[in-house]
């Protein structure tokens, strides 16, 4: 997550992280990182101790080892073992030369031997003890430095506080970048961060925060709220914390990690808006597909109804009226009207994912009924229809109306393709046969303009069409229906010209198991 540049310049991590750390402690840490300075401090302490002890008017017989021992301890504590040993050697030489009579001599009288040996032994013990403590403190300091370096690089803001007494122990420099406020405000008031919380969220956040520090409920703190930075920008914060209890179960320490999730929240809101818009587009597209499907599928029955009505009108106008033919035409109108209603119902069931109406059916019978529907279109385009229907074909199981929709789409497309051919025979061949897998295959061949090789792979895509007034739904619906029946459909060139569409369907199962259902998606296959 990309973070915005803070409006308030961030402080160095050492300064920002040392909330109540005294300046002397920071100077001491810097001194311990410099070997020359460590040895210089140890030797300086030894020299000062010797000068002070030599200049004091101390009565004869008073011990001379207190201040040098103090210098040895300070030297070892500040610098470690090496500087401590240097301080001890300097102090021992100074005591022996200046402070033990006779002065200005390294001679050690027997009366001072025991005290001097005790000084050396005690000095060695203090050097080693102080050196061990120095190593421990240095290790702790290095660990603290590593933690501060890590805390300064993570994207979350980290802070630790004492519950009783209420005191802020540490806060990472990321506070200034996220909150846009100086860390010094927290030094004066550890609860100053609450002032930046959005007024609409402040009361709830404060109550949850105080209950968490009081140890009420879960030891986990998890809250998402808004803050208002000093530059007026509103940011979203996700804060999580853990409460640490002492041996008696009372809250002792609390640690929290706060993260700026503004960009994530904005991305989620943008995604939600995009999903809502996409859902709206999907609904509109579905309605458009449904309308296009209905318009496409009822076009043939409506055309047949118009043609039969015109024929009935002519036969009734003759003298004497040919009532028998008129009655037959009116019956065809009724059949076509029922067929149009069935088509609409089937298309709606496709869109609503309703189970299809399955029944055993003879594919040859379905072909004959479809060819009867296109007779008027056949005559208008001057097309010769030839049927090559196989004998003793296995029955298939499926929805007769839907499969006839496929046959109707393929045959009407073939008639329209041949309508634009200027010369040569216009022939439509519908063939049924048993395929190699034991099912039924149906082929529709025409001698029309043929297929565009560059667009063959898109023939069954929704809304793809090569006809000026086409909607590109017929073949997409056909593929959806055939695949829903467990079959497949494809297309290729016809010889010597034209196109050939072929689909294959499995034979009706011989068992008595439950019937299959399907939920195709209009406009792209099952």
What CATH number does residue 278 fall under?
1.10.287
Residues 313 and 386 in one domain: no
Residues 245 and 292 in one domain: no
Confidence of residue 369 (pLDDT cuts 50, 70, 90): confident
Confidence of residue 523 (pLDDT cuts 50, 70, 90): very low
Tell me: the pLDDT tens digits for 176-229?
888 888 877 887 787 888 888 898 888 888 888 888 888 887 788 888 889 888
Q: Is the pLDDT of residue 94 over 60?
A: yes
Instruction: CATH number of the domain at 240, please.
Output: 3.30.450.20
- Strand positions, DSSP E, 435-511: 440-446, 488-493, 499-505
Q: Is residue 523 part of a domain?
A: no
Residues 365 and 336 in one domain: no
Query: What tokens appear for 362 in the block?
Result: 């003879």
Query: What tokens appear for 365 in the block?
Result: 């019978």
**460: three-class secondary structure by DSSP:** coil
Strands 440-446, 167-171: pairing is unpaired
Euclidean distance between the first and the last CA atom of the chain, given in angstroms as a whole number: 41
Residues 38 and 89 in one domain: yes
Residues 320 and 333 in one domain: yes
78 Cβ partners below 8 Å, 6+ apart?
28, 31, 32, 38, 41, 42, 45, 134
Query: What tokens appear for 67 in the block?
Result: 């201040």
208 Cβ partners below 8 Å, 6+ apart?
221, 223
Q: Which residues pair with 225 in a beta bridge?
A: 237
Q: What is the per-residue pLDDT for 390?
A: 87
Going across the sheet that includes 220-228, the strands are: 167-171, 157-162, 251-260, 234-245, 220-228
Answer with the one of 131, 153, 175 that is the final residue of a domain: 153
Q: Is the pLDDT of residue 13 over 50?
A: no
Q: Is residue 139 part of a domain?
A: yes
Instruction: CATH number of the domain at 488, please.
Output: 3.30.565.10
Full residue range of the structural domain in which residue 332 is found: 273-352
Answer with the one of 119, 153, 187 that is the final residue of a domain: 153
Q: Is residue 2 part of a domain?
A: no
Q: What is the rounded CA–CA span in Å between residue 157 and residue 144?
A: 17
Residues 388 and 472 in one domain: yes
Residues 215 and 299 in one domain: no
Answer with the one of 116, 132, 153 that is the final residue of a domain: 153
Residues 252 and 337 in one domain: no
Structurally, how many domains does the chain consist of?
Answer: 4
Q: Is residue 12 part of a domain?
A: no
Least confident stretch, 315-319, 334-338, 347-351, 372-376: 347-351
Q: Is residue 377 part of a domain?
A: yes
DSSP codes of every residue in 34-68: -HHHHHHHHHHHHHHHHHHHHHS-PPTT--S-HHH
Is 427:383 a contact under the CB 8 Å cutoff?
A: yes
Residues 146 and 191 in one domain: no
Number of CB atoms found within 10 A of residue 455's CB: 12
Q: Is residue 334 part of a domain?
A: yes
DSSP state of 110: H
Confidence of residue 246 (pLDDT cuts 50, 70, 90): confident
Q: Is residue 299 part of a domain?
A: yes
Tell me: the pLDDT tens digits for 395-427?
988 888 788 888 888 888 888 888 767 777 788
For residue 474, give the nearest of 403, 400, 406 by alpha carbon: 406
Query: What tokens appear for 148 in the block?
Result: 């501060």
Share the mean pLDDT of the chain: 76
Q: What is the rounded CA–CA span in Å between residue 442 and residue 8?
A: 78
| Residue 453 to residues 181, 286, 445, 450, 495, Cα–Cα distance (Å) | 68, 30, 17, 9, 15
Residues 127 and 173 in one domain: no
Q: What is the rounded CA–CA span in Å between residue 49 and residue 204?
A: 61
SS3 content of the chain, % helix, strand, coil (to 5): 55, 15, 30
Residues 175 and 119 in one domain: no
Q: Is residue 15 part of a domain?
A: no
For residue 372, give the nearest of 328, 416, 402 by alpha carbon: 328
Residues 193 and 333 in one domain: no
Phi, psi of 243 (to 5 degrees): -95, 130
């Amino acid at each position: 997550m990309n973070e915005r540049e803070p409006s308030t310049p961030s402080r160095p991590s050492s300064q920002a992280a040392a909330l109540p750390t005294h300046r002397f402690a920071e100077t001491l840490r810097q001194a311990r990182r410099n070997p020359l300075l460590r040895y210089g401090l140890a030797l300086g302490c030894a020299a000062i101790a010797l000068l002070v002890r030599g200049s004091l008017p101390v009565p004869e017989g008073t011990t001379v080892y207190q201040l040098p021992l103090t210098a040895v301890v300070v030297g070892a504590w500040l610098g470690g073992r090496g500087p401590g040993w240097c301080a001890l050697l300097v102090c021992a030489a100074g005591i022996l030369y200046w402070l033990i009579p006779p002065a200005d001599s390294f001679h050690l009288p027997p009366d001072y031997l025991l005290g001097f040996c005790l000084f050396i032994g005690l000095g060695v013990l203090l050097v080693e003890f102080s050196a061990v403590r120095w190593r421990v403190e240095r290790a702790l300091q290095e660990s603290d430095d590593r933690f501060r370096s890590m805390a300064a690089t993570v994207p979350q803001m980290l802070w630790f506080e004492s519950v009783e007494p209420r005191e802020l122990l540490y806060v990472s420099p990321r506070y200034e970048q996220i909150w846009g406020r100086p860390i010094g405000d927290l030094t004066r008031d550890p609860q100053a961060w609450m002032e930046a919380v959005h007024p609409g969220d402040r009361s709830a956040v404060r109550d949850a925060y105080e209950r968490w520090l009081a140890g009420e409920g879960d030891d986990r703190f998890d809250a998402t709220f808004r803050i208002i930075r000093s530059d007026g920008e509103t940011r979203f914060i996700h804060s999580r914390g853990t409460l640490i209890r002492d041996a008696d179960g009372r809250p002792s320490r609390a640690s929290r990690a706060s993260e700026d999730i503004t960009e994530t929240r904005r991305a989620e809101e943008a995604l939600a808006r995009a999903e809502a818009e996409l859902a709206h587009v999907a609904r509109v597209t579905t309605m458009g597909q449904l309308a296009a499907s209905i318009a496409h599928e009822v076009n043939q029955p409506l055309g047949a109804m118009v043609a039969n009505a015109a024929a009935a009108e002519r036969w009734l106008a003759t003298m004497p009226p040919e009532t028998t033919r008129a009655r037959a035409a009116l019956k065809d109108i009724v059949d076509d009207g029922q067929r149009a209603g069935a088509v609409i119902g089937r298309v709606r069931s496709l869109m609503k994912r309703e189970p299809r109406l399955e029944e055993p059916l003879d594919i040859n019978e379905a072909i004959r009924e479809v060819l009867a529907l296109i007779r008027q279109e056949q005559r208008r385009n001057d097309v010769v229809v030839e049927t090559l229907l196989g004998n003793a074909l296995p029955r298939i199981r499926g929805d007769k109306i839907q499969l006839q929709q496929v046959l109707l789409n393929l045959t009407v497309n073939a008639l329209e393709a041949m309508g634009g051919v200027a010369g040569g025979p216009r022939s439509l061949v519908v063939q049924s046969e048993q395929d190699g897998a034991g099912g039924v295959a149906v082929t529709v061949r025409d001698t029309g303009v043929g297929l565009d090789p560059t667009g063959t792979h898109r023939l069954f895509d929704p809304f793809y069409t090569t006809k000026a007034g086409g909607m590109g739904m017929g073949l997409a619906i056909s593929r959806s229906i055939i695949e829903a029946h467990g079959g497949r459909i494809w297309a290729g060139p016809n010889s010597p010209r034209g196109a050939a569409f072929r689909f294959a369907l499995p034979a009706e199962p011989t068992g008595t198991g439950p019937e299959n259902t399907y939920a195709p998606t209009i406009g792209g296959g099952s």
